[in-house]
């Protein structure tokens, strides 16, 4: 009887060891998945920071260009308000698609 008991204890111990090994393998798999997820999150954060930096740079450049456009050329002789008004009017005017399109307009007989 004692021999049978010792055999059963050994079998239970073997099952417990294999269960523990399976759990350890699952834990390692989960840890690796977590590492991959954390790396992806770090990369996404870095990309977002880079996008914000690009946006700030573009906004700064836009302000610089708008400021330069608001100033009349030094040799124009026009006040800044006149130049700004002309630029705004030009920006609002309808654009022709091509020089050829403007030449293809019908002419009225004289």
C-alpha pair distances (Å), 80 with each of 32, 60, 71, 76:
63, 22, 6, 10
Convert the pLDDT of each residue in 6-42 to its tens digit: 555 666 667 778 999 999 999 999 999 999 999 999 9
Q: Whose structure tokens read 């654009």?
A: 95
- pLDDT of 106 > 70? The answer is no
Which pair of tokens denotes residue 58? 């573009």
Contact of 82 with 72, CB cutoff 8 Å: yes
Tokens of 69: 């456009």
Over residues 55-90, the pLDDT tens digits come to: 999 999 999 888 877 776 666 666 666 666 666 766
- pTM given for the model: 0.44
Spatial separation of the C-alpha atoms in residues 100 and 98, rounded to whole Å = 5
């Amino acid at each position: 009887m004692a021999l049978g008991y010792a055999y059963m204890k050994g079998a239970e111990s073997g099952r417990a060891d294999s269960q523990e090994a399976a759990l350890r393998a699952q834990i390692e798999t989960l840890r690796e998945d977590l590492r991959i997820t954390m790396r992806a999150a770090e990369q996404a954060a870095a990309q977002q920071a880079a996008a914000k930096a690009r946006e700030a740079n573009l906004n700064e450049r836009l302000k610089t260009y708008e400021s330069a456009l608001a100033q009349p050329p030094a040799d124009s002789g026009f006040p800044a308000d006149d130049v700004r008004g002309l630029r705004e009017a030009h920006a609002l005017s309808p654009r022709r698609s091509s020089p050829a399109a403007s030449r293809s307009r019908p002419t009225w007989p004289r």
